[in-house]
């Protein structure tokens, strides 16, 4: 099996970029939204329009009359990120501004839950946009309530410790791949070079592109702000959030091979998992292993398809 | 007229086809729509005739009315002319975004085909769908003929883009939407002069990046909404001017209200929508019998034409108000509105108001129905405390 393995050597090219976003945003300490946004806009540049529904980002960008985005920023209703962005794209098309990046930037609630219908429709129509889901695995803006992106057994204010969430996290990658969109990729704050490469690819492609970004939320995950990057690194290393791409909904590429650390390493630094018993952790480990095996099988299948083609 | 038809300056159009031609003549740039009976022939006609459009445009077949309005909002924020059409459940689904469109001050035009709300399922005419959207900050215009629908769509864009408030053009299900008559097509060159390409006061602009619709604290919110209210009031005056221009260019106009034989009337029937046409026949019949009866059609529902109502109804002894709708637990909605308009009137002797609810769920409103309303009003010296439901 051919895997691209991450080699942690410093890449100073990453620093030779121009910032579009500005300081002064309102994110909590340790929040992953702005580091990812900053990175994305370094790649996408100023010729970009942001469309954001109700979510932490809508607050983080700043209240009227402030904005840290550095580009036109359209707030939209909670469930309409993909539909609103499609409207913006239509206007640009009519006005002959095809070179502008239209970026919907939504949380997991606005993507996995309330915005899924509009998202599915825009993906099906292959609307020309980059849809970024920053997934902090719960409704954090309203104060940490369960979403369908919340992982199994996690505490939230609506899934208290004595009755934690027992359902699976929704498989966003699977859903989007089933729409056969040109590009889907997962991204992590611990791998900025990988994240930048993915935004670059997304920028170069046309049609519906999605980046699913695993967004650390120390406030909601009940952990220390200093763990922001570490949480994302551990999520990749423990296979909780593998880094991969899907081209055309069929061709899977694994970007960073997991080091196979036990999930307990990731779980134990987060208060939202502090109630877990050893058997719960075992269950989570099993689910993570199964998901990863399934992903490897898809990658393997893609590789065999490709070698058959050549 | 035959000559006009031969030269294709007039066409045989249903209300829905007229709604589509109105959008076409307005040179709409983005259409986002979702099918619902009885609106479907609007978007079918548009999909067809837009293929002849020689300007850049995009037609988006969305997955819901909610997304239709979201797309229109996005497109309008992008600076182009956006249009959609819907009905009943579809309009109700849009509700959240109707507030958004007006709050964001976007000049979108929407045609709503008045259809009764479920349950039980009804595809036939009544006004509860659009009147339920009374407080969303949309200008509302009720039409009585396909010609008026076509003209009002174009007028709607002219008003909307002047005051930055969205416009809802309303027509009755089937009675107008699917009934054809000869409709004159206004000359495109004249329309182009009256309605030039949209020049937005603000838009998503890479050269001047700004955030739109973000968190608005208590120190600003109320003033922003007061501006919407002011713009709404201005819209009434703008429509009067637009309508006068229409008269000048095309020889027809509608007014924000239309009195018919009201001059010496001791009883005035108040109507809206397609019933307004039927009522004219009734008025003519009764006038021939020597009865002093007039009719006032209300076209502009938001902003509500207080002054015209006060001027035209203030001295009338009896006013019979027809509502093809109901505000459950209150009265018919036009009844409430007219009552509130007259209560603020300076005239001491307010008319006696008689409220009638009829024609819900598409029940036929015939000449006999309207004569019944007039007879019930004539017979009673004092109105009943409760609204009368007319079979």
At residue A211, what are phi and psi to the nearest 5 degrees?
Answer: -115, 120
In the numeric block, which tokens belong to residue A264? 């307990």
* A47 and B CB contact within 8 Å: yes
A120 with B63: Cβ contact below 8 A: yes
pLDDT band at A9 (very low <50, low <70, confident <90, very high): low
B71 with A64: Cβ contact below 8 A: no
What is d(CA B11, CA A276) in angstroms, rounded to the nearest whole number?
A: 73
- Mapping DSSP onto H, E and C, the string for A178-191 reads HCCCCEEEEEECCC
What is d(CA A42, CA B365) in angstroms, rounded to the nearest whole number?
A: 64
pLDDT at A309: 75
In this predicted model, what pLDDT tens digit does every residue of B301-311 receive, in sequence order?
A: 999 999 999 99
Beta strands in chain A (DSSP E): 48-52, 73-75, 101-107, 129-135, 183-188, 208-214, 244-247, 251-254
* Kind and range of the H or E run holding B286: helix B275-288
Q: Is B5 helix (H, G, I), strand (E, B) or coil?
A: helix
A86 with B82: Cβ contact below 8 A: no
CA-based nearest residue in chain A for residue B77: A88
B74 with A85: Cβ contact below 8 A: yes
pLDDT at B346: 63
Burial of B127 (0-12, 13-18, 19+ CB in 10 A): buried
Q: Count CA within 13 A, CB hemisphere, residue B95.
A: 11
Burial of A187 (0-12, 13-18, 19+ CB in 10 A): buried
Judge whether B91 and B49 are in contact, CB under 8 Å. no
- Separation in Å, CA of B155 to nearest CA in chain A: 22
CA-based nearest residue in chain B for residue A65: B211
Q: Which CATH class is domain B2-250?
A: alpha beta
What is d(CA A79, CA A54) in angstroms, rounded to the nearest whole number?
A: 8
With a cut of 60, say whether residue A3 has pLDDT above it: no
Chain A positions touching B78 (Cβ under 8 A) are 87-88, 90-92, 94-95
* A70 and B CB contact within 8 Å: yes
pLDDT band at A203 (very low <50, low <70, confident <90, very high): very high
- Separation in Å, CA of B129 to nearest CA in chain A: 22
Query: What dotted CATH number matches B257-389?
Result: 3.40.50.920
Judge whether B157 and B168 are in contact, CB under 8 Å. no
The DSSP output letter for A25 is: -
Judge whether B114 and B126 are in contact, CB under 8 Å. yes
Residues 6+ apart with CB under 8 A from A1: A296, A299, A300, A303
Characterise B186 by phi-psi region: left (phi > 0), alpha (psi -120 to 50), beta (else): beta
Judge whether B42 and B170 are in contact, CB under 8 Å. no
A83 with B62: Cβ contact below 8 A: yes
| Interface residue ranges in chain B relative to chain A, Cβ cutoff 8 Å | 29-30, 32, 56-58, 60-64, 66-67, 70-80, 82, 96-97, 100, 204-206, 209-217, 220
Chain B positions touching A126 (Cβ under 8 A) are none
- Is beta strand B257-260 parallel, antiparallel or unpaired with respect to B180-184? unpaired
What integer is the mean pLDDT of B243-265?
A: 97
pLDDT at B347: 59
- Residue B70 has its nearest CB partner, among A69, A87, A125, at A87
| CB count in 10 Å sphere of residue A171 | 13
Q: Give the closest residue to A230 by CA, choosing from A195, A194, A193, A191.
A: A191
Q: Which residues pair with B270 in a beta bridge?
A: B296, B321
Query: What dotted CATH number matches A25-309?
Result: 3.40.50.970
pLDDT band at B166 (very low <50, low <70, confident <90, very high): very high
Q: Is B51 helix (H, G, I), strand (E, B) or coil?
A: helix
With a cut of 90, say whether residue A242 has pLDDT above it: yes
pLDDT at A157: 97
In this predicted model, what pLDDT tens digit does every residue of A125-154 receive, in sequence order?
A: 999 999 999 999 999 999 999 999 999 999
**How large is the ipTM?**
0.96
What integer is the mean pLDDT of A278-283?
A: 97
B214 with A58: Cβ contact below 8 A: yes
B209 with A71: Cβ contact below 8 A: yes
What is d(CA A173, CA A186) in angstroms, rounded to the nearest whole number?
A: 8
pLDDT at A2: 43
Extents of the domains making up chain B:
2-250, 257-389
In this predicted model, what pLDDT tens digit does every residue of B59-77 receive, in sequence order?
A: 999 999 999 999 999 999 9
In the numeric block, which tokens belong to residue B337? 């509105």
Higher pLDDT, B335 or A259: B335
Average pLDDT of the residues of chain B: 96
Q: Give the closest residue to A111 by CA, choosing from A84, A148, A71, A61.
A: A148
- Residue A87 has its nearest CB partner, among B64, B73, B216, at B73
- For the sheet containing B267-271, what is the strand order? B257-260, B293-298, B267-271, B318-323, B352-357, B388-389
* A64 and B CB contact within 8 Å: yes
Interface test with A, best of B53, B74, B82, B213 (most A CBs within 10 A): B74
At residue B294, what are phi and psi to the nearest 5 degrees?
Answer: -125, 180
pLDDT at A198: 98
> How many angstroms separate the first and last alpha carbons of chain A?
17
pLDDT band at A308 (very low <50, low <70, confident <90, very high): confident
B74 with A94: Cβ contact below 8 A: no
pLDDT at B391: 92
* A100 and B CB contact within 8 Å: yes
Chain B positions touching A121 (Cβ under 8 A) are 62-64, 67
- Separation in Å, CA of B222 to nearest CA in chain A: 14
Judge whether A68 and A258 are in contact, CB under 8 Å. no
B78 with A79: Cβ contact below 8 A: no
> How many angstroms separate the first and last alpha carbons of chain B?
38
A91 with B214: Cβ contact below 8 A: no
In this predicted model, what pLDDT tens digit does every residue of B181-217 receive, in sequence order?
A: 999 999 999 999 999 999 999 999 999 999 999 999 9
CA-based nearest residue in chain A for residue B224: A64
Extents of the domains making up chain A:
25-309
Cα-based distances in Å from A207 to A131, A180, B327: 11, 11, 46
Q: Is A163 helix (H, G, I), strand (E, B) or coil?
A: coil
What integer is the mean pLDDT of A10-31?
A: 86
With a cut of 60, say whether residue A4 has pLDDT above it: no
Chain B positions touching A92 (Cβ under 8 A) are 78
User: Rg for chain A (alpha carbons), in Å?
Assistant: 19
B74 with A86: Cβ contact below 8 A: yes
pLDDT at A10: 67
Judge whether B143 and B128 are in contact, CB under 8 Å. no
Q: Is B180 helix (H, G, I), strand (E, B) or coil?
A: strand
Residues 6+ apart with CB under 8 A from A30: A216, A217, A218, A219, A224, A225, A226, A227, A228
CA-based nearest residue in chain A for residue B83: A87
What is d(CA B305, CA B237) in angstroms, rounded to the nearest whole number?
A: 10
pLDDT at A1: 40
| CB count in 10 Å sphere of residue B232 | 18
pLDDT at A174: 98
Chain A positions touching B34 (Cβ under 8 A) are none
Judge whether B72 and A76 are in contact, CB under 8 Å. no
Residues 72-91 (A) with a CB less than 8 A from some CB of B: 72-77, 79-80, 83-91
What integer is the mean pLDDT of B40-48?
A: 98
What is d(CA B262, CA B265) in angstroms, rounded to the nearest whole number?
A: 5
What is d(CA A150, CA A139) in angstroms, rounded to the nearest whole number?
A: 9
Percent of chain B with pLDDT over 90: 95
pLDDT at A102: 98
pLDDT at B212: 98
What is d(CA A4, CA B287) in angstroms, rounded to the nearest whole number?
A: 90
What is d(CA A285, CA A306) in angstroms, rounded to the nearest whole number?
A: 31
């Amino acid at each position: 099996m051919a895997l691209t393995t991450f080699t942690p050597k410093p890449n100073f090219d990453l620093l030779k970029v121009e910032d579009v976003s500005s300081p002064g945003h309102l994110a909590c300490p340790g929040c992953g939204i702005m580091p990812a946004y900053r990175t994305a806009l370094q790649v996408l540049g100023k010729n970009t329009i942001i469309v954001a529904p109700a979510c932490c980002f809508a607050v983080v960008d700043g209240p009227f009359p402030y904005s840290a985005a550095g580009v036109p920023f359209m707030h939209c209703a909670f469930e309409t990120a993909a539909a609103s962005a499609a409207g913006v794209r239509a206007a640009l098309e009519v006005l002959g501004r095809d070179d502008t990046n239209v970026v919907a930037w939504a949380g997991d609630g606005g993507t996995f839950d309330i915005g899924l219908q509009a998202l599915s429709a825009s993906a099906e129509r292959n609307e020309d946009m980059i849809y970024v889901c920053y997934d902090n695995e719960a409704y954090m803006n309203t104060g940490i309530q369960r979403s369908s992106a919340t992982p199994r057994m996690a505490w939230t204010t609506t899934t208290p410790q004595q009755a934690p969430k027992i359902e699976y996290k929704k498989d966003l990658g699977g859903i989007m791949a089933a729409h056969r969109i040109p590009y889907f990729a997962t991204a992590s704050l611990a791998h900025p070079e990988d994240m930048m490469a993915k935004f670059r690819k997304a920028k170069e492609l046309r049609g519906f592109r999605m980046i699913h970004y695993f967004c650390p939320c120390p406030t909601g995950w009940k952990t220390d702000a200093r763990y922001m990057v570490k949480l994302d690194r551990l999520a990749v290393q423990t296979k909780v959030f593998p880094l991969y791409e899907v081209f055309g909904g069929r061709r899977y590429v694994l970007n960073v091979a997991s080091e196979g650390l036990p999930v307990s390493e990731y779980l134990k630094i987060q208060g939202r998992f502090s109630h877990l018993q050893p058997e719960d952790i075992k269950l989570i480990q099993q689910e993570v292993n199964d998901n990863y095996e399934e992903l490897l099988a898809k990658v393997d299948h893609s590789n065999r398809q490709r070698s058959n083609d050549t | 007229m035959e000559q006009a038809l031969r030269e294709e300056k007039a066409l045989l159009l249903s209300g829905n086809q007229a709604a589509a031609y109105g959008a076409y003549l307005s040179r709409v740039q983005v259409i986002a729509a979702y099918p619902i009976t009885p609106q479907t022939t609007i978007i079918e006609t548009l999909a067809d005739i837009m293929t002849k459009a020689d300007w850049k445009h995009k037609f988006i077949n969305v997955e819901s009315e909610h997304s239709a309005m979201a797309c229109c909002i996005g497109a309008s924020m992008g600076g182009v002319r956006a249009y959609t059409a819907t009905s009943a459940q579809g309009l109700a689904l849009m509700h959240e975004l109707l507030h958004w469109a007006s709050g964001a001050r976007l000049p979108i035009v929407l045609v709503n085909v008045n259809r009764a709300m479920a349950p039980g399922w009804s595809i036939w005419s009544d006004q509860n769908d659009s009147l339920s959207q009374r407080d969303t900050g949309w200008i509302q215009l009720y039409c009585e003929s396909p010609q008026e629908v076509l003209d009002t769509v174009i007028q709607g864009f002219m008003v909307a883009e002047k005051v930055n408030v969205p416009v809802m053009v309303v027509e009755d299900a089937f009675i107008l939407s699917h009934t054809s008559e000869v409709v004159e097509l206004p000359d495109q060159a004249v329309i182009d002069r009256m309605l030039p390409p949209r020049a937005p006061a603000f838009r998503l602009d890479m050269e001047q990046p700004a955030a739109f619709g973000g968190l608005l604290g208590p120190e600003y919110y109320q003033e922003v909404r007061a501006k919407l209210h002011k713009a709404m009031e201005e819209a009434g005056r703008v429509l009067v001017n637009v309508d006068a221009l229409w008269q000048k260019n095309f020889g027809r106009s509608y007014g924000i209200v239309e009195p018919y034989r009201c001059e010496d009337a001791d009883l005035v029937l108040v109507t809206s929508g397609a019933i307004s046409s039927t009522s004219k026949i009734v008025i003519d019949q009764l006038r021939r019998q020597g009865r002093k009866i007039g009719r006032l059609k209300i076209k502009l529902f938001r902003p509500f034409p207080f002054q015209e109502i006060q001027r035209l109804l203030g001295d009338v002894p009896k006013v019979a108000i027809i509502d093809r709708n109901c505000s459950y637990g209150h009265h018919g909605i036009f009844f409430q509105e007219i009552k509130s308009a007259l209560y603020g009137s300076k005239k001491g002797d307010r008319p006696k108001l008689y409220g009638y609810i009829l024609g819900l769920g598409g029940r036929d409103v015939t000449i006999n129905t309207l004569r019944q309303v007039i007879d019930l009003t004539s017979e009673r010296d004092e109105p009943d405390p409760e609204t009368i439901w007319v079979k």
